[in-house]
Amino acid sequence: MADARLAATQSSEAIVSRWFEAFNHRDLEGMLAQFDPEIEFQPLRFPGIAHSYSGHDGICCWFETVVEASHLHRIDAHEFSRTDDDRVLASGSVNLATVGGIAPFSGLYSIESDLIVAVVHYFTPADVLDRLGMID
Mean pLDDT calculated for residue range 1-10: 50
For the stretch 14-55, pLDDT in tens is 999 999 999 999 999 999 999 999 999 999 988 888 899 999
- CA dihedral (28, 65, 108, 38) positive or negative: negative
For the stretch 68-102, pLDDT in tens is 988 788 999 999 999 999 999 999 999 987 667 78
CB atoms within 10 A of CB 39: 21
Question: How many residues are there in the chain?
Answer: 136
Query: 68's torsion region: left (phi>0), alpha (psi -120 to 50) or beta?
Result: alpha
Q: Round to whole Å and give the CA distance between 123 and 113.
A: 28
DSSP H or E stretch at residue 11:
helix 2-24
Domains of the chain (ranges; CATH) run 2-131 (3.10.450.50)
Contact between residue 103 and residue 87 where contact means Cβ atoms under 8 Å apart = no
**Of residues 54, 42, 125, 119, the one with CA closest to residue 88:** 119
